[in-house]
Amino acid sequence: MSWMELSLDTTHEAVDWVCTLLAKIKDIDDVRITEYADPNLSQSGERDVAKPSWTFTIRFYLNHQVCSREQVEKIANLLLPLNRTGLATELQISRVNDKPTPDEELNPFVHRIGQRFVILTPDTPYQAKAAGEIPLRLKTTLSFGSGLHPATMLSLQLIERYIVPSMNILDLGSGSGILSIAMAKLGATVLALDNDRTAVQATQDSVYRNNVEQQVTVMEGSLGGGSELGHWMGGDTTENVPKVEATERFDVIVANILARVHIALADDFHRALRRTDTQPGLLITAGFTTDYEQEVVSSLTEAGFETIDCERLNEWVAFAYRLA
């Protein structure tokens, strides 16, 4: 079978946006992410500073027998804004007889976050380099949460700091499931909730691949008034999305999602958290830049939260709060 291989080089920030945009395209057979191999390196190993610096290469495939010129043009147009804003290269298109096998992939994907988390593809061979490492194996999907976006990286850093065994946690907007499996491997019990069916399927796949199905429940739905906000990432969603009532149920809520959702659900977050003698009721928020920081923090402060921690990466920011 022959394939149309479409590829582009990206920054950390663009990987999840590429996958989210591609979710609108039918018949994409496979998505591969590898570390970027810089052709601008000189023989001495120095990079030509006049050339762009990329971090990852994304390749995806369409069956050559069924794909059309219109379909390829649609994909190119979807991804064009990322190129115009300097987050990705132009889309490259070629015909190949076979997709590369995992053993043939150059620069297999291994990504370390914080002190303990290591993100791997399902087939990447890996030998732990330190005691206590936590591998997170993820199939590349068309859902947000590859582990490469700054918002996800910041979330994982705060999760590593605050999540302890026996916590009951809501992962709101679970996407690929990366945060849910990370928290489960830290010993927590997690409800992974998303209103996008592709994300629900991706989370379920991640849960099974990482053998945490006893700790993670995956559900399509929203928290409180979130069911009235439509698709959180701007896509299509079905009507009558199941709703989880906000009633003092969780020790922690983790939400790596758009600023408008944090603002709209501030009171629901407060109502859904419980305070005990050992747990103060924690909220971890990410998914927005400093442009929205003040608005989000103000909304959560008014709802009864106090800020206890913060992580930043470039213009992206994540906060930890507790019930005031």
Which of 59-63, 140-144, 293-297 tops mean pLDDT?
293-297
Has residue 50 got a pLDDT over 50? no
Sorting pLDDT into bands at 50, 70 and 90, what band is 108? Answer: low
295 or 19, higher pLDDT: 295
Q: Rounded distance, CA 61 to CA 31, Å?
A: 7
26 or 190, higher pLDDT: 190
Helix/strand/coil (H/E/C) assignment for every residue in 253-287: EEEECCHHHHHHCHHHHHHHECCCCCCCCEEEEEE
Has residue 42 got a pLDDT over 50? no
The burial of 259, by beta-carbon neighbours within 10 Å (0-12 exposed, 13-18 middle, 19 or more buried), is given as middle
Has residue 61 got a pLDDT over 60? yes
Kindly report the average pLDDT of the chain as a whole number: 85
User: What's residue 145's pLDDT?
Assistant: 62
Q: What is the mean predicted confidence (pLDDT) over 199-207?
A: 92
Phi, psi of 26 (to 5 degrees): -80, 160
Q: What is the mean predicted confidence (pLDDT) over 206-215?
A: 95
- CB-based contacts of 285: which residues, under 8 Å, 6+ apart? 255, 256, 262, 296, 300, 318, 319, 321
Of residues 319, 323, 289, the one with CA closest to residue 306: 323
193 or 37, higher pLDDT: 193
Q: Rounded distance, CA 153 to CA 215, Å?
A: 22
In this predicted model, what pLDDT tens digit does every residue of 173-201 receive, in sequence order? 998 899 999 999 999 999 999 988 888 99
Sorting pLDDT into bands at 50, 70 and 90, what band is 242? Answer: confident
Domains and CATH numbers, the chain: 3-101 (3.30.70.120), 142-323 (3.40.50.150)
- State pTM to two decimals: 0.77
Q: Rounded distance, CA 280 to CA 305, Å?
A: 11
Has residue 40 got a pLDDT over 70? no
Lowest mean pLDDT among 40-49, 56-65, 93-102, 163-172: 40-49
In this predicted model, what pLDDT tens digit does every residue of 267-288 receive, in sequence order? 999 999 999 888 899 999 999 9
Give the distance, in angstroms, between the CA of residue 258 and the centroid of all CA atoms in the same chain. Answer: 12
- C-alpha angle 128/138/316, rounded to 5°? 95
274 or 111, higher pLDDT: 274
Please give the structure tokens belonging to residue 32: 């591969």
Radius of gyration of the chain (CA): 20
Sorting pLDDT into bands at 50, 70 and 90, what band is 28? Answer: confident
AA identity, residue 188: A
Sorting pLDDT into bands at 50, 70 and 90, what band is 44? Answer: very low
182 or 202, higher pLDDT: 182
Lowest mean pLDDT among 102-111, 220-229, 282-291: 102-111
Has residue 248 got a pLDDT over 80? yes
